[in-house]
Amino acid sequence: MRVGLGPLFCLSKETEPGMAGRSKVAQEAYDIAEPIVRELGFDLVDCEYKKEGQYYFLRIFIDKRGGISIEDCEAVSREVDAALEGKLHADPDYFEVSSPGATRPFSSLSDYVRHEGEEIEVSLFAPIDGSKHIEGIIESATEEELVLAVGEDQIRLEWDKIAKAQRTLRF
């Protein structure tokens, strides 16, 4: 059975999605947290700073091959929280560390690399062999292209051909 998936994303080689929409505080947090998260063996996917009701939340999203556990979030939270103390242009009411979720859209080359060997769904801007949708297993992802195994075939896609992509989950 295939799980219905939410909206997908577009990867542009020039800029990684999510970067332009990040607030100043979220970008400051990202810059401080990224080397710490990397040193702990995780990928920093994104940061957000937003008001919900009367409170301000700073959230960072981490990932790794095989997924994220509560213990992973706790370890990152301890290290990053200490590093952020007094270094942001705002003082969030709450700080959270989270997994971005299994069905989140890919937003960077590192997402593709992290999920090599896994099946993804790709939407294209223009059809290839009459189809704008491809499901395949990631063989490799480089700055130049994405290589998918589709059955016995190998499909090479330049990034500017890809409109959207995310993991395929089957139960």
**What does the domain layout of the chain look like in residue ranges?**
24-98, 109-167
CATH superfamily entry for domain 24-98: RimP-like superfamily, N-terminal (3.30.300.70)
The C-alpha atoms of residue 120 and residue 37 are separated, in whole angstroms, by 26
End-to-end CA distance of the chain: 5
Other beta carbons within 10 angstroms of residue 168's beta carbon come to: 16
Confidence of residue 108 (pLDDT cuts 50, 70, 90): confident
At 18, the pLDDT band (50, 70, 90 cuts) reads very low
Topology of the domain comprising 109-167: SH3 type barrels. (2.30.30)
Buried b (16+ CB within 10 A) or exposed e, 33-49: beebbeebebbbbbbbb
How high is the pLDDT of residue 65? 84
CB burial class (10 A; 0-12, 13-18, 19+) of residue 123? middle
The per-residue pLDDT for range 41-87, each reduced to its tens digit, is 999 999 999 999 999 999 999 999 888 999 999 999 999 999 999 99
Q: Torsion angle of alpha carbons 22, 87, 69, 139, nearest 10°?
A: 50
Q: How far apart are CA 106 and CA 12, in angstroms?
A: 11
pTM of the model: 0.69
- Structure confidence at residue 54 (pLDDT): 97
